[in-house]
Amino acid sequence: MEHITLTVPASRTVSGKALAGVVGSGDMEVLFTATQGQTLTIDITTSVDNSRSRWEALFNRLQTVSSLPAGTLTIHDFGATPGVARIRIEQVFEEVSYA
């Protein structure tokens, strides 16, 4: 089990909370809570050891293709592929955009 904390610049503000996925499904769950500020703090608990570089690469890519909201993102990962991880993250961002 590995615990990773990342902080990336945020380029927009939203309000509310959102949840996507269920870790018990053998996948991952992502919880987002909006905050005021200019950063997105990402707190990851993963069953995959030595995966920090994979998560950093995923968030670097997300920064280049979309505007990340300010807040706290909590990820409980049970070995999801990068594609599934990206879908879950984008789902919470989309959901909170409509809150």
| pLDDT score recorded for residue 66 | 87
Q: How many domains does the chain have?
A: 1
pTM of the model: 0.92
| pLDDT score recorded for residue 81 | 87
Q: Which residues is 33 bridged to in the sheet?
A: 17, 72
- Domain span including residue 86: 2-96
What does the pLDDT average to over 15-41?
A: 90
